[in-house]
Structure 1
Amino acid sequence: MKISIITVSFNSAQTIQDTIESVLSQDYPSVEYIVVDGASKDGTVDILKSYGDKIKWISEPDKGIYDAMNKGLKLATGEVIGIIGSDDFYPNNHVLSHIMQAFAEFGTDSVYGDKQYVDFHDKNKIVRYWQTGEYHKENWLNGWMIPHLAFYLKKSVYDKNGYYLTDFKCSGDYELMLRMLYKYQISTHYLPELVITMRTGGTSNASFKHRIRANKEDRRAWNINNLKPRWYTLWWKPLSKIGQLFKNSRN
């Protein structure tokens, strides 16, 4: 079974080579790697060219990150699809083998794991650890969600239930996972290990203004799917992540 990995990039020359090397070093034998670049001008395209036919890539203007992700989904030919950001990397070269082993063993539509954040300049300095935990549908009502880049989904499920909604600016990933897991109740399996590492500047990933917009988009995600959250669901969602700041590994 083949897995397709998608990276969306824009002016990512400072970090994307680490990402590419991380994907290409995976020990799973059947990996298709796709990079969708948004017409970068900083040398990103030169880096992509240097890998020849080891990666499939395009570089052209897009209508936002979710439009770019959809381009990658349309190019993908693997039975399973994962996404890794242009600032991200895998913590070891066994991640995709473990993901695919879980798909084979449990036969689910999706598999997810844990995520960690490291300092932008020091990859050995862990800033946050997101231990996702076992899946329970009702946890969505308490503000729970899966870290998007730790979520792997079968292409057949995308084809059946739809891709990312491009009119979302920051919560399109939340909407997609809510739609797949909560609305359509696709099957999933939690892989209790670290599957993705993301660089961060060591500060909050979102300004207060951004968080307000995200909250509005989160609420819209429930509304357009004809779902009803509890009164506190969407306010507890960001608050529930505070505990991650005090973790630097699994329990």
Structure 2
Amino acid sequence: MKISVVTAVMNGGKALSRAVESLKAQTHPDIEHVVQDGGSTDRTLDYLADHGHPNMALTSTPDGGIYDAINKGIARATGGVIGLLHADDMLASPDVLAQVAQAMEDPAIDGVYGDLEYVSRDAPDRVIRYWRAGEYAPYRLKQGWMPPHPTLYLRREVFADAGMYDTSYRISGDYDGMLRWLSSGQIRLKYIPQVMVRMQMGGASNRSFAQMIRKSREDYRAIRRHKVGGMGTLIAKNLSKLQQFGKRA
């Protein structure tokens, strides 16, 4: 089973090496690394040329933003299963993609997801938040639940049948996509109860108060668009993050 891992990057800097090395360390034998570069002007392209994954498909061209770049990468992917690895994230252990492949051997499953750790940007070994996703049930969408997006791997047919990311969103295109795939798309997910991805704090959604407000507006738009709730769902979604700062069970 070939797994395509899409990385959309623009001036990835030092963080990119952790993502690439975690991918190269995977025990699953059939991996394609689809890199969609937005026209980096730092040493991103030099690093990838010298240290990229052995099975890397790299394109560098201007894009219309993160979701446009991801869509371009997905369109280029040749694997039967597709996931994302952001430039400042890393796969948590060498068996992550092997676990994905094993779960996806079940033809009744459309995708898999797992748990996520948020780590310090300056000290990647220091865990700040732990997101235990838990099992999916349709009623949980109204409670603001969503699978941790960086851990989500889907069959390529999901994108063909239910669409890719809506580029009219600047921050919440992942949330909109997941609500679409789970509600109208009716995809079937399997939960892998282990930390799959370690994500650095300080992403686009929480860099400033203005970004946080914009994200909430886009989240609410997605909630209403897919008819999974209203303002209560948005509030519950934001409040659910508080428990991620507690001690890990």
Q: Distance in 2 between matches of 1:56 and 1:20?
A: 13
Note the residue ranges of structure 1 that are not aligned, 5 or more in a row.
none
- The one-letter amino acid paired with 1:25 is A
Q: Distance in 1 between matches of 2:178 and 2:156?
A: 14
Structure 2 residue 178 is the aligned partner of structure 1 residue 177 = yes
Structure 2 residue 13 is the aligned partner of structure 1 residue 13 = yes
Identity of aligned residues (%): 40
Q: Note the C-alpha offset of 1:235.
A: 1.9
Q: Which moved more, 1:216-225 or 1:163-172?
A: 216-225
Q: Note the C-alpha offset of 1:106.
A: 6.6
Structure 2 residue 56 is the aligned partner of structure 1 residue 55 = yes
Q: Distance in 1 between matches of 2:107 and 2:9?
A: 32
Deviation digits for residues 57-79 of structure 1 (CA, Å, limit 9, x no counterpart): 11111100000000100000101
Alignment match, 2:127: 126
Alignment match, 2:149: 148
Structure 2 residue 210 is the aligned partner of structure 1 residue 209 = yes
Alignment match, 2:39: 39
- The one-letter amino acid paired with 2:31 is V
CA distance 1:123–1:68, shift in 2 (3 Å): same
Deviation digits for residues 140-195 of structure 1 (CA, Å, limit 9, x no counterpart): 11111111101111101111110101110000000000000122221111111110
CA distance 1:195–1:106, shift in 2 (3 Å): farther
Q: Distance in 1 between matches of 2:207 and 2:232?
A: 20
Alignment match, 2:73: 72
Q: Compute the TM-score of the two structures, normalised by the length of structure 1.
A: 0.93
Report the secondary structure of 1:104's partner residue. coil
Q: Compute the TM-score of the two structures, normalised by the length of structure 2.
A: 0.94
- The one-letter amino acid paired with 1:7 is T
- The one-letter amino acid paired with 1:233 is T
CA distance 1:105–1:160, shift in 2 (3 Å): closer
Alignment match, 2:234: 234
Report the secondary structure of 1:73's partner residue. helix
Q: Note the C-alpha offset of 1:25.
A: 1.4
Alignment match, 1:84: 85
Q: Which moved more, 1:103-112 or 1:65-74?
A: 103-112
Which stretches of structure 1, 4 residues or more, deviate above 4 A after TM superposition?
Answer: none
Report the secondary structure of 2:235's partner residue. helix
The answer to whether the Cα contact below 8 Å between 1:215 and 1:235 also exists between their aligned partners in 2 is: no
Q: Note the C-alpha offset of 1:206.
A: 4.2
Q: Note the C-alpha offset of 1:13.
A: 1.9
The answer to whether the Cα contact below 8 Å between 1:13 and 1:47 also exists between their aligned partners in 2 is: no
The answer to whether the Cα contact below 8 Å between 2:114 and 2:194 also exists between their aligned partners in 1 is: yes
Q: Distance in 2 between matches of 1:106 and 1:68?
A: 29
Q: Distance in 1 between matches of 2:173 and 2:202?
A: 23
Q: Note the C-alpha offset of 1:230.
A: 3.8
- The one-letter amino acid paired with 1:26 is Q
Deviation digits for residues 214-234 of structure 1 (CA, Å, limit 9, x no counterpart): 121112213334x14144111
Note the residue ranges of structure 2 that are not aligned, 5 or more in a row.
none
**Root mean square deviation, CA, Å:** 1.7
Deviation digits for residues 12-45 of structure 1 (CA, Å, limit 9, x no counterpart): 1211111111111111011111111111111101
Q: Distance in 1 between matches of 2:41 and 2:89?
A: 20
Q: Distance in 2 between matches of 1:208 and 1:144?
A: 23
The answer to whether the Cα contact below 8 Å between 1:117 and 1:200 also exists between their aligned partners in 2 is: yes
Report the secondary structure of 1:183's partner residue. coil
Question: How many corresponding residue pairs?
Answer: 247
- The one-letter amino acid paired with 2:76 is L
Q: Distance in 2 between matches of 1:223 and 1:144?
A: 15
